[in-house]
């Protein structure tokens, strides 16, 4: 059946949906009639009701006789997310599993949280090097580095901290979807924000690593001189001094002192690598 014959056979317009042939615009542009100039037959239709500006699955309204079960197919719906309207999720045939097979590893996010000076960046860099020596692809999202670019418009107020973590969580999710082992190293002081990032990923793909180091140890290290400035009142809202840090309640990995001695970077990285190995992230 050609397109014009099919169009002539269409049932009466749906009064319930307020649709007429003139009020239907195809998602790619054009109308039902204009499409017939380009194609002799059609296998699916996703259109827009110009009366309501909403996406419609035309296959459920006008089943095509040449395709069995045509009317049962569910096509992408237009959605609104935040301030973005009239958007569609674009599916691609090449998925996460294909990328993981290519890399011979499973994508995940290793989220390292803790006070300033607790050793987050040290662990992130050592872990990244250890994974590299094993032939595993990883990428580090460092909190300070990201504030040089992606998050340079954010300060350290509670709402800015939340937005900072939200952005990093979304980027980390993309890296994990690409099949990489994403290592995010941020103070991320608020439990709610970390849990929100966890919810972005499938179960077990978000691995929270808590650098549980005492405040006095972190302050004694003070590698960036920030604690000294905070104690002098020159930095306001500094985590651990005049702004709270909420420790994880159920983290996957906790790194802390043993008999008052901090573990070496290699030992800490080895603890994380062992977890990744046991959970199957280093194989596809």
Check: CB of residue 227 under 8 Å from CB of residue 241.
yes
Helix/strand number for the chain, H first, E second:
11, 10
Active-site annotation, residues: 188
CB-facing half-sphere around the CA of 56: CA atoms within 13 A: 22
Instruction: Output the CA torsion 273→274→276→277 (10° steps).
Output: 120
* Rounded distance between C-alpha atoms, residue 178 and residue 97, angstroms: 9
**73 closest CA partner among 55, 99, 46, 92:** 46
* Rounded distance between C-alpha atoms, residue 222 and residue 228, angstroms: 8
In the numeric block, the tokens 């983290």 are attached to 251
Check: CB of residue 7 under 8 Å from CB of residue 34.
no
Distances (CA, A) of 272 to 109, 128, 160: 12, 11, 30
* Rounded distance between C-alpha atoms, residue 262 and residue 30, angstroms: 67
CB atoms within 10 A of CB 133: 8
- What does the buried/exposed string (b/e) look like for 2-12 if buried means 16 or more CB atoms within 10 Å of the residue's CB? ebeebbeeeee
């Amino acid at each position: 059946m050609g397109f014009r014959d099919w169009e002539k056979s269409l049932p009466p317009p749906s009064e319930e949906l307020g649709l007429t042939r003139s009020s239907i615009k195809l998602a790619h542009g054009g109308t039902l009639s204009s499409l017939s100039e380009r194609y002799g037959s059609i296998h699916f239709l996703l259109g827009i009701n110009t009366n309501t500006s909403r996406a419609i699955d035309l296959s459920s309204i006008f089943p095509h006789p040449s395709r069995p079960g045509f009317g049962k197919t569910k096509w992408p719906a237009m959605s609104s997310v935040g301030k973005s309207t009239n958007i569609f999720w674009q599916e691609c045939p090449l998925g996460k599993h294909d990328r993981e097979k290519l890399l011979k590893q499973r994508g995940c996010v290793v989220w390292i949280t803790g006070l300033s000076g607790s050793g987050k960046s040290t662990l992130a860099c050592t872990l990244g090097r250890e994974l590299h020596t094993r032939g595993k692809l990883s990428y580090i999202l460092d909190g300070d580095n990201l504030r040089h670019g992606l998050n340079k418009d954010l300060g350290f107020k509670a709402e800015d901290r939340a937005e900072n973590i939200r952005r990093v969580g979304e980027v980390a999710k993309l890296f994990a979807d690409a099949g990489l082992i994403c290592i995010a190293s941020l103070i991320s002081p608020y439990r709610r924000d970390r849990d929100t990032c966890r919810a972005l990923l499938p179960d077990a793909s978000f691995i929270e690593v808590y650098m549980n180091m005492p405040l006095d140890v972190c302050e004694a290290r003070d590698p960036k001189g920030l604690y000294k400035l905070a104690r002098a009142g020159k930095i306001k809202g500094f985590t651990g001094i005049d702004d709270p840090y909420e420790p994880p309640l159920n983290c996957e990995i906790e790194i802390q002192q043993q008999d008052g001695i901090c573990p070496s970077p290699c030992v800490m990285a080895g603890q994380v690598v062992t977890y990744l190995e046991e959970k199957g992230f280093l194989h596809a």
